[in-house]
Amino acid sequence: MSFEDLDFGEELVGKPVTEMDARDLFKYSYEMFRENLGYTMPSDFIKNKAVLQWLLKTYKEDGAKLVKWLFFKHGGIIDGQAFAINWFAAPHKWRIDKELFTMKQALGEVKKKPVYRSPKTTGFMSAKELLAYGNTS
């Protein structure tokens, strides 16, 4: 199965994650957590919905894709621990950005830009250049 294919959670909700709102994304993550880890995630819908609303407002479609990515790539386990919705809260933005970049690299959405390298000049002539400069006659 590729990342673009509908997974169990998307089929259950009835749409791809990129079209989900916070309520749908909550249901998706709740079901995927249960499917991947075999138990029901204890959750506070109101708090978790607010976290997912922030995620979608900040990252748009990429935020929803990231939720799917954590199940697709990591099976719901990050750094040896099952992640919960609060993993996507604003105080963890640095971690979200890091995982988002990893996801985009893996999916080929980040293009490598050529690195600008300045010419190897220091403002001084080498001995060879100095001798060549002196023998211009």
First to last CA, the chain: 72
With beta carbons less than 8 A apart as the criterion, state whether 66 and 92 touch: no
Count other C-beta atoms under 10 Å from residue 96's C-beta.
19
Lookup: tokens for 2? 């590729």
Q: Enumerate the domain spans of the chain.
A: 8-134
pLDDT band at 58 (very low <50, low <70, confident <90, very high): very high
Question: 30-49, pLDDT tens digit by residue?
Answer: 999 888 888 787 788 889 99
Residue 123 zone, left/alpha/beta (φ > 0; ψ -120 to 50; rest): left
Q: Does pTM surpass 0.85?
A: no
Question: 64-101, pLDDT tens digit by residue?
Answer: 999 999 989 888 888 888 878 888 899 989 999 999 99
